């Protein structure tokens, strides 16, 4: 294989959660009588929910807005589904000697979703928002994961669905793979896939 260590993003990469996130964010803007970005989903993909809030919500309201959004979003994420071929890819790479890790801006709820889908067993290390590392694209969490698990950077790849993830990986000095099911413009220079099963063809 080209790589032995696969570091995954969660939302939009392993699990198809953006529909519920977009719905919750749009409804939160409406609840507070604020104008949401016209291309809300695109704004989320280009940066993050936190960045969208920072850019479109008055500073004094941001904390309450964020809390309301997360409460609403959690209520909608009743049974999020993994992307097609996710389990197949995770299983196959482990069988070939690979190991998986996860870094996500989502809180501990990510662990519950992984457990509910029998995915937790695949991961050798997981970092969530509750671990209090600096947010992407600051490489702090990624470098910690690499050092703690003695990973060779040349054998390690970050898999994510946003250009933010590609910058995150570059800042840590590792390669990246852009999972791009929605076909957004890839200006990162990273290799791109549209379906997760393509990883198996690349990692023969």
pLDDT, averaged across the chain: 94
Q: What is the spatial distance between Cα 30 and Cα 77, in angstroms, rounded to a whole number? A: 19
Contact predicate 44/25, CB 8 Å: yes
Q: What is the pLDDT of residue 80?
A: 92
The three-class DSSP label of residue 7 is strand
Q: What is the spatial distance between Cα 204 and Cα 198, in angstroms, rounded to a whole number? A: 11
How confident is the model over 20-42, as pLDDT tens digits?
999 999 999 999 999 999 999 98
Q: What is the spatial distance between Cα 59 and Cα 154, in angstroms, rounded to a whole number? A: 41
Q: What is the spatial distance between Cα 168 and Cα 173, in angstroms, rounded to a whole number? A: 9
3-state per-residue secondary structure call for 124-181: EEEECHHHCCCCCCCCHHHHHHHHHCCCCHHHEEEEECCHHHHHHHHHHCCEEEEECC
Q: What is the pLDDT of residue 185?
A: 84
Q: What is the pLDDT of residue 2?
A: 85
Q: What is the spatial distance between Cα 12 and Cα 83, in angstroms, rounded to a whole number? A: 8
How confident is the model over 52-70, as pLDDT tens digits?
999 999 999 999 999 999 9
- Is 141 buried (19+), middle (13-18) or exposed (0-12) by CB count in 10 A? buried
Percent of the chain residues past pLDDT 70, beyond the cut? 100
Q: What is the pLDDT of residue 91?
A: 97
The three-class DSSP label of residue 80 is coil
Q: What is the spatial distance between Cα 72 and Cα 66, in angstroms, rounded to a whole number? A: 10
Rg (CA), the chain: 17
Q: Which residues of the chain have pLDDT under 50?
A: none
Q: What is the pLDDT of residue 1?
A: 76
Q: What is the pLDDT of residue 184?
A: 85
**Nearest-10 Cα torsion for 85, 88, 89, 91:** 160
């Amino acid at each position: 294989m080209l790589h032995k260590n696969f570091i995954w993003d969660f939302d939009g990469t392993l699990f198809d959660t953006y529909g519920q996130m977009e719905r919750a964010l749009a409804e939160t803007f409406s609840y507070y009588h604020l104008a949401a970005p016209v291309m809300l989903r695109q704004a989320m993909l280009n940066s993050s929910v936190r960045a969208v809030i920072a850019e479109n919500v008055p500073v004094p309201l941001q904390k309450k807005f964020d809390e309301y959004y997360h409460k609403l979003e959690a209520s909608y994420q009743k049974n999020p589904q993994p992307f097609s071929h996710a389990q197949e890819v995770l299983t196959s790479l482990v069988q070939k000697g690979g190991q998986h890790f996860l870094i996500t801006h989502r809180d501990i709820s990510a662990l519950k979703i992984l457990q509910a889908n029998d995915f937790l067993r695949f991961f050798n290390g997981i970092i969530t928002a509750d671990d209090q590392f600096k947010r992407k694209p600051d490489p702090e969490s990624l470098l910690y994961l690499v050092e703690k698990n003695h990973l060779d950077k040349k054998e390690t790849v970050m898999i994510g669905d946003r250009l933010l993830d590609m910058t995150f990986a570059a800042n840590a000095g590792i390669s990246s793979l852009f999972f791009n099911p929605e076909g957004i413009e890839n200006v990162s220079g990273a290799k791109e896939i549209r379906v997760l099963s393509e990883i198996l063809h690349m990692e023969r």
